Amino acid sequence: MTRDWTPPSPTVRELFRRGAEIALDPRADWVTELHTAALSGAGMRPVAEDPVLAEGTRRANLANLLHWATANVQRPGERVPVALGPEVLDGARDLVRRGLDHVGLDAYRTAQGVAWRRWMDICFDLTADPAQLRELLDVSARSITTFIDDTVAAVAARMATERAELTRGAHAERRATVSLLLEGAPLARARAEAQLGYGLTGPHTAVIVWRGTGGGGPEQLEAAAEAAMRASGATRRLTVVAGAGALWVWLPVGRAPEVTALTAGLAGAPDVRVAVGRPGTDVEGFRRSHLDAATTQQMLARLTSPQQVARHQDVQLVALLTSDRTRVEEFLADTLGDLAGADADTRDTVLGYVRELGNASRTAQRLYTHRNTVLRRLARADALLPRPLAENAVAVAAALEVLRWRGPGPERPGR
C-alpha cells in the first residue's frame, strides 16, 4: 500500500462496491471478448494457436478479473494486491518453457483495454451524477492500471526466475535440443542423440498429451503418456515437459497406437487429451510427426471436440477443412442444410453409405441394422439436404466427418 493512495469518498466507495459485485459475475459475451482480445494482440499468434497456452492465458485473465472484483467488493477503491495464483503462475511457466515469455505479457495489456471499456459501461449504469461519475472513473482508472502494472511486474519477475532455472540441468538441455530439431536447425545427429538419450535413426511416432479445460495433474499426463506407449507396442519413450499442462512424447515405432486401445488406457484420466502424429523416419520423421500431432491438437481445440484421442491420419481432411472457422461454418450450412440438425442415426447412415460406395446392403451390415432401415434414413436425408446425396456425396461425407469431430455449440448449423 502506498501512502499517497487516496481513498474515494464514502458515496463513491459504495458505487465501486456495487459495480465490483456486477463484475464478479461477468456476462459470457464480455468474457469472450476479453479472451479474444488477449489472444489477438501483437505477436500472440503462437500462443493463440497452441491449445494449452491459449487456455492458460484465458485462465490467468479470468482469475485476474475476478481477483480485482473480489478485492473491490471487500475494500472498494483501495489498491488491489497482486495475486499470483496457480492460474497465473502455470501460464507464465508454460510461456517461458516455450520461449514465448517476451510476448506473453501482451495479453495483460490487451485484456486491460476490454476490461476498462466494460467497467465504464457498469459505471455509467450506477450513477448519472457528473461529480460522482467523474470521481468513480478517476479512481477506477487508477485502480485498474495500477493492478495491471503491479501484476505484469510480478509475473515478469517470476518469469525471469523460471527462465534462470530452465537454463540449468538435463531437462533444459533436452528441451533446447528438441526445439532445435523441430526448427530444422543444423544439429549433429550424434550430439542430439547424446543430449536426448534417444536414437534419431529409424521410426518415430510423436504424441502430444495435454490437459483439457477440466484440468488434469502431472500424474494423469504421465499415465496418458504410458498408455500411448503401451497402445503402440513401444518399450520406451522420449518425453519433454512442454509446460505445466502438456507433454511432448516420441515413441520409436512406425505404427500409430490404435484409438480403441489408447482410449481404454485413458480411463483413469478423463480430462486428458491425446493427439498422435503420422509415423515418420529419422530426423525429418521426428520433426514431421510432432508437427502433425500439433496440427491435430489445434484442430481438436478449434472444434472443441469431445473426442479424447485423435490421430492425424484419421483427421487430416477435417483439419484442412476447418482451418478457417468462418468458411467451414458456411461449408457445413451450404452442404448439409437441415441434415446438420438431424438425429445421429440418420447422419451416421449417410456417412456409412458413402463409405460403402453407395451399397445399402453393406451399409446395413456396417451399422448392424436392416437394409430397409438404411433406405428409409437415406430418403429422409435426401429430403433434408439442399442437393440430393447422389449429386454431392463427397462433400456431404466430408461435412458429416467434420460434425463427427466437432463438439456441441451454439453455432452448429441447423440448431
Q: According to the 3-state scheme, what is the secondary structure of the chain? A: CCCCCCCCCHHHHHHHHHHHHHHCCCCHHHHHHHHHHHHCCCCCHHHHCCHHHHHHHHHHHHHHHHHHHHHHHHCCCCCCCCCCCHHHHHHHHHHHHCCCHHHHCHHHHHHHHHHHHHHHHHHHHHCCCHHHHHHHHHHHHHHHHHHHHHHHHHHHHHHHHHHHHHCCHHHHHHHHHHHHHHHCCCCCHHHHHHHHCCCCCCEEEEEEEEEECCECCHHHHHHHHHHHHHHHCCCCCEEEEEECCEEEEEECCCCCCCHHHHHHHCCCCCCEEEEECCCEEHHHHHHHHHHHHHHHHHHHHHCCCCCCEEEHHHHHHHHHHCCCHHHHHHHHHHHHHHHHHCCHHHHHHHHHHHHCCCCHHHHHHHHCCCHHHHHHHHHHHHHHCCCCHHHCHHHHHHHHHHHHHCCCCCCCCCC
pLDDT attached to residue 251: 96
Read off the C-alpha cell for 225. Answer: 503418456
What residue ranges do the domains of the chain occupy?
A: 10-166, 202-314, 324-405
Degrees, nearest 5: CA angle 223-226-227: 85
Dihedral angle of Cα 288, 292, 293, 296, to the nearest 10 degrees? 170
pLDDT attached to residue 169: 57
Exposure letters 386-396 (e unless 16+ CB within 10 A, then b): eeebeebbeeb
pLDDT attached to residue 40: 84
Q: Which fold, 10-166?
A: Globin-like (1.10.490)
pLDDT attached to residue 97: 73
Whole-angstrom distance, CA of residue 144 vs CA of residue 407:
36
Q: Tell me which CATH homologous superfamily contains domain 202-314.
A: Reverse transcriptase/Diguanylate cyclase domain (3.30.70.270)
Whole-angstrom distance, CA of residue 399 vs CA of residue 203:
33
pLDDT attached to residue 2: 44
What is the phi/psi pair of residue 169, to 5°? 95, 170
What pLDDT tens digit does each residue of the chain (415 aa) get? 444 688 899 999 999 999 999 998 888 888 889 888 888 876 788 888 888 888 888 888 899 999 999 999 999 999 999 988 888 888 887 887 777 766 777 788 888 888 999 999 999 999 999 999 999 999 999 999 999 999 988 888 888 877 776 656 566 778 889 989 998 888 888 989 998 999 999 999 999 999 877 666 778 888 899 999 999 999 899 999 887 788 999 999 999 999 999 999 888 888 899 999 999 999 999 999 999 999 999 999 888 888 899 999 999 989 888 887 778 888 899 999 999 999 999 999 999 999 999 999 999 999 999 999 999 999 999 999 999 999 999 999 999 989 888 876 434 433 3
CATH: 2.60.40.10, 3.30.360.10, 1.10.10.10, 1.10.10.2840. Which one for 324-405?
A: 1.10.10.2840
pLDDT attached to residue 47: 86
pLDDT attached to residue 312: 95
Whole-angstrom distance, CA of residue 95 vs CA of residue 101:
5
pLDDT attached to residue 112: 87
pTM higher than 0.75:
no
What is the phi/psi pair of residue 124, to 5°? -70, -20
